[in-house]
Amino acid sequence: MTDKTKNSDRPAAGGTADSAATGEERVLAGTQDRETIIGRAVEEAVLHGIFRGRTVTRRGFIRQLGLAGAMAVIADIFPINAAKALANDPPKDLEKTALKIGFIPINCATPIIMAHPMGFYEKHGLKGTEVVKGAGWAMIRDWAVSKQIDCAHMLAPMPLALTTGVGSSTTPFVIPALENLNGQAIVLHKKHKDLTEASQLKGMTLCIPFEFSIHNLLLRYYLAEGGVDPDKDVKLRVVNPAEMVANLKAENVDGFIGPEPFNQRAVFEDAGFIFKLTHDIWPDHPCCAFACSREFVTQMPNTFQAAFQAIVDATVFATDHKNRKDIAKAIAPRNYLNQPVEVIEQVLTGDFPDGLGNMRHIPDRISFHPFPWNSMAVWILTQMKRWGYLQGDVDYRKIADEVFLSAECKNIMEQEGYPAPTGSPYARHVIMGKEFDPANPQQYLDSFPIRRG
Amino acid sequence: MAVPSDTAKGWIWLSLVVLLLFLGVWALFALTSKTFPSPAAVARESWFFLSRPFYDGGPNDKGIAILTAYSLARLCTGFLAGSVVAILLGVILGLNQTLFKALNPYIQMLKAISPIAWMPLLLYSVKDSGWAALLVVFMASLWPTLANTAFGVSNIKADYLNIANILQMKPLTKVCKVILPAAGPTIVAGLKISMGSAWVAIVPAEALLGSLGLGYFVWNEWNNLSLASVIFAILIIGVVGVLIDNLFSRLAGGLAYVD
């Protein structure tokens, strides 16, 4: 899509608009004034820099002077307009500007999708870049491998599977940036509303979106911690998210672990309830990523850099809760997610009904953060090994370093004035109260009583 | 037509009664189920799409006329290529009884395979979803025409071929002037079946491959669980299918000949 005015001309969806995304709300607050957004981001970054993250002082300062006043004071001591101009300067010598970027219509892809209507690709010189909707993960993978698309929204385990040649031909892929943390949930049919424990899921039929997904790995982990063997005690079916909700409604399945907005959609359709947010299994777990082939990185280094910058920029923009409502409006239309704005807002703001009659307020229900921790890759690989997807000896660190480009991401974050994690990209993570040490993956694997490999 | 006018009227009335009955049952069902869209809801949704047929909201959101054009273009290209290959092979097989008998079991078997079943194989070999969708249509239109052409050519009256031989026609002239016209009606009947099966195959192919077209529309609306839009798409697919079939019936009528 090149003509934005056409996009906003579209009238509201008629008919059963109650269950369909309406077009009217696609007037994009963000698109109208891209420079204001960038300007605001730079100002924020400068404020951050000056107060070094001491939020209280910063907020107090702004409260007293008002944002405009505060900026005027700071402009005296910091060349803020120069910084704005610098951030607005698109990269040069791009091998290609009109990229095709594939996505699956789910909230995980929020930064990749919104970067189109909100102008992040254009800002970084990628004029004419389009986001193309795929119907399923296998399709996105095939598009990416056969180069029908330049970059893709993938589940974080997918590039690891592609690079190691599990479940497909071996094609080296990289993850320059993660998209979202959290933002998934286990949803059960309303008839199971009294259940609270993993052990009670024994004998159920549950859907997963893809084998090489964080969903599959987290569900298996959760079940196994509750003493349920995911290969023997439950039936796991690979099903597209939309079909998950339809199947739940028809009571063909007992539940699913799915991406948003389909978990919330199940509540909206009065079919199920949110049994467990993945946020409560592993707080700030990785989910989806921005991915491209290593070949793309080497053949088009400047274009890759520009796309990388655009994604980091958009992902950090999505981190801020005050932008979330605008983002919901931008990505709800038929061209993108094709979902009711209301549902998307419930997901992005973290204020949502859980299907059991409670309104919940969990701001971190979904978060966006670009930094790809290498330790997360190691965790994913240990679980792929645990459930028998990966066979033989695995050089965890080597694969993690090859696929998760954390050093490069750190550079870009700093370059764009965003705070980046300092120190090693190998961190310890705590999943359901159990610590994972990336330095000892084999020891970690051996500690699980239920495992295949 | 020579049919008396009152009979003709009766036929139309009956048709209307069936339609009303169908709409009535549907409306009742929608009332009781609460979530299933009513005929009125589908009509409203249809109007929404039909009133902006050439709308272009980006690479993933196009008007229904544009999507139908995508599907028809894919259909025509795949069908034309499939038909040319099928007729050529069919004539060769029809003229050579031994070859025909030898290959017929395979053709019958291939004819029985749903074109969609080829899709993973095609996608794997050509590595491009656009081409794969086209090849699915190609496969769908190949076998019925091939079987019919071979059958039609092998059943041409021996007299015609003898006369052609007496006139010492060149092989190409013989094919164009005698064989194809004589086998014409059978070939067109085969083409009609091919076109039907190609149209049936194109919708799931587009939905599975994510290629723009009516199949994509069905999938995109289903992703939003919007049943009213899905029903609208089903209606469009049906109407276009009937129009294509009618076109072929007219073509077949034009090609009929008298001995």
Nearest to B152 by CA among B207, B96, B91, B196: B91
Cβ-Cβ contacts under 8 Å, B66 against chain A: none
Tokens 């794997």, located at residue: B124
B45 interfaces chain A, CB cutoff of 8 Å: yes
Residue of B nearest to A168 (CA): B124
| pLDDT above 80: residue B231 | yes
Question: Residue A105's pLDDT is what?
Answer: 92
- Cβ pair A123, A36 in contact under 8 A: no
B5 interfaces chain A, CB cutoff of 8 Å: no
- In order, the DSSP letters of B162-222 are HHHHHTT--HHHHIIIIIHHHHHHHHHHHHHHHHHHHHHHHHHHHHHHT-SSHHHHHHHHH
**In A250-286, which positions are buried (b, 16+ CB within 10 angstroms) versus exposed (e)?**
eeebbbbbbbbbbbbbbbbbebbbbbbbbbebbeebb
Position A271 in a domain: yes
B92 interfaces chain A, CB cutoff of 8 Å: no
Q: What is the crossing angle of helices B214-223 and B227-255, to 10°? A: 170
- pTM, to two decimals: 0.76
| pLDDT above 80: residue B186 | yes
Q: What is the Cα gyration radius of chain B? A: 23
State the smallest CA–CA distance between residue A44 and chain B in angstroms: 32
Average pLDDT (B79-86) is 94
State the smallest CA–CA distance between residue A338 and chain B in angstroms: 6
Interface of A to B at Cβ within 8 Å reads 1, 3, 6-7, 10-11, 13-16, 19-21, 23, 105, 130-135, 139, 142-143, 145-146, 148, 240-242, 245-246, 249, 265, 269, 333-336, 338-339
Nearest to A110 by CA among A404, A418, A280, A339: A339
Residue of A nearest to B46 (CA): A15
B220 interfaces chain A, CB cutoff of 8 Å: yes
Local structure of B103: helix, strand or coil: helix
Residue A122 tokens read as 């254009």
Pairing mode, strands A288-293 and A151-155: antiparallel
B218 interfaces chain A, CB cutoff of 8 Å: no
Contact A139 B129 (CB under 8 A): yes
| Domain spans in chain B, listed from the N-terminal domain onward | 50-55+62-255
Position A322 in a domain: no
Cβ-Cβ contacts under 8 Å, B42 against chain A: 15
Residue partners of A278: CB distance under 8 A and separation at least 6: A182, A183, A184, A185, A186, A214, A215, A218, A257, A285, A287
Mutation target to probe the A interface, by most A beta carbons within 10 A, among B226, B227, B229, B231 is: B226
Nearest neighbour of A14 by CB, restricted to B48, B56, B61:
B48
Q: What are the respective helix, strand and coil percentages of chain B, to the nearest 5?
A: 85, 0, 15
Residue A353 tokens read as 């009904």
Position A259 in a domain: yes
Nearest neighbour of A19 by CB, restricted to B128, B129, B225:
B225
Residue of B nearest to A7 (CA): B57
Cβ-Cβ contacts under 8 Å, B44 against chain A: 14-16
- What tens digit of pLDDT does each residue of B6-29 get? 556 788 889 999 999 999 999 999
More confident residue, B184 or B80: B80
Question: Residue A10's pLDDT is what?
Answer: 36
Question: Residue B58's pLDDT is what?
Answer: 80
Cβ-Cβ contacts under 8 Å, B224 against chain A: 19-21, 242, 334, 338-339
Cβ-Cβ contacts under 8 Å, A334 against chain B: 57, 60-61, 220, 224
Residue type, A424: S
Nearest neighbour of A19 by CB, restricted to B60, B219, B226:
B226
Separation CA A402–CA A379 (nearest Å): 15
Question: Residue A173's pLDDT is what?
Answer: 94
Cβ-Cβ contacts under 8 Å, A105 against chain B: 223
State the smallest CA–CA distance between residue B224 and chain A in angstroms: 6
- How many domains would you assign to chain A? 1
State the smallest CA–CA distance between residue B62 and chain A in angstroms: 8
| CATH at residue A267 | 3.40.190.10
Cβ-Cβ contacts under 8 Å, A139 against chain B: 129, 208-210
Residue type, A445: L
State the smallest CA–CA distance between residue A97 and chain B in angstroms: 17
Nearest neighbour of B57 by CB, restricted to A135, A245, A334:
A334
Residue B159 tokens read as 């007299």
Percentage of residues in chain B having pLDDT higher than 70: 95
State the smallest CA–CA distance between residue A134 and chain B in angstroms: 6
State the smallest CA–CA distance between residue A5 and chain B in angstroms: 10
Residue B77: CA atoms inside 13 Å, Cβ hemisphere, count? 14
Contact A336 B60 (CB under 8 A): yes
Position A444 in a domain: no
Domain range for residue A236?
184-285
Fold of B50-55+62-255: MetI-like fold (1.10.3720)
Query: Which of A315-329, B110-124, B181-195 is the most confident on average?
Result: A315-329
Contact B57 A132 (CB under 8 A): no
Residue of B nearest to A113 (CA): B60
Contact A135 B207 (CB under 8 A): yes
Could you list the pLDDT tens digit for every one of the 453 residues in chain A? 334 333 333 333 333 333 344 333 333 333 445 556 555 665 665 555 555 444 445 555 555 555 555 555 555 555 455 454 455 455 668 889 999 999 999 999 999 999 999 999 999 999 999 999 988 888 899 899 989 999 999 999 999 999 988 877 789 999 999 999 999 999 999 999 999 999 999 999 999 999 899 999 999 999 999 999 999 999 999 988 878 998 898 889 999 999 999 999 999 989 999 999 999 999 999 999 999 999 999 999 999 999 999 999 999 999 999 999 999 999 999 899 999 999 999 999 999 999 999 999 999 999 999 999 999 999 999 999 999 998 888 899 999 999 999 999 998 898 888 888 888 999 999 999 999 999 999 999 999 999 987
B233 interfaces chain A, CB cutoff of 8 Å: no
Contact B57 A21 (CB under 8 A): no
Contact A15 B209 (CB under 8 A): no
- Cβ pair B214, B230 in contact under 8 A: no
Residue partners of B100: CB distance under 8 A and separation at least 6: B93, B94, B150, B154
Residue of B nearest to A332 (CA): B224
Residue of A nearest to B42 (CA): A15
Nearest neighbour of A10 by CB, restricted to B55, B127, B208:
B55
Cβ-Cβ contacts under 8 Å, B47 against chain A: 14-15
